[in-house]
Amino acid sequence: MIKIYVGFSITGAPQEFIESVQRLRTKLKERYEVMEFVPVSEGAPSDVYRNDIRECVANCDLMVAVCDLPSTGLGYEMACAVEVGDKPVLAVAHHNTKMSRLIMGVDHGKYTFRRYQRLDEVEELVHERVRVYFGARP
């Protein structure tokens, strides 16, 4: 089963945003193994690093980065995945989100940046990337 890591900004994020990403993760679990991150209220910073980078990023087949809110941690995860791990990364952001030109301009062959209108559209973007990178039908 294809392993997917869904990264997003949690620290300071509105509860509504966190819940919408959790709904996306739940939908993706119907077809993929979705890796678990350390909840913001649990673990020491070193626990978060070890789990999110050494477990989730290192062992995922595809990273999905929801880039709607600024996050140094998410940027670090994305760089580790695509530049260090040579793993496919699908970065997404709402069409109204002001984005870093660096994130929109990454030209690594396994990196894709897409805009969406509604977060539930991301599920189909994930299926598309799975077909492209793994030739698999979800």
Domain containing residue 65: CATH number? 3.40.50.450
Range of the domain at 59: 3-134
96 near 63, Cβ under 8 Å? no
This prediction has a pTM of 0.94
Domain count, the chain: 1
Per-residue pLDDT, 40: 65
Average pLDDT of the segment spanning 34-51? 84
- What is the reported pLDDT for 137? 60
Q: Give 59-97 pLDDT, tens digit per residue.
A: 999 999 999 999 999 999 999 999 999 999 999 999 999
pLDDT in tens, 97-124: 999 999 999 999 999 999 999 999 999 9
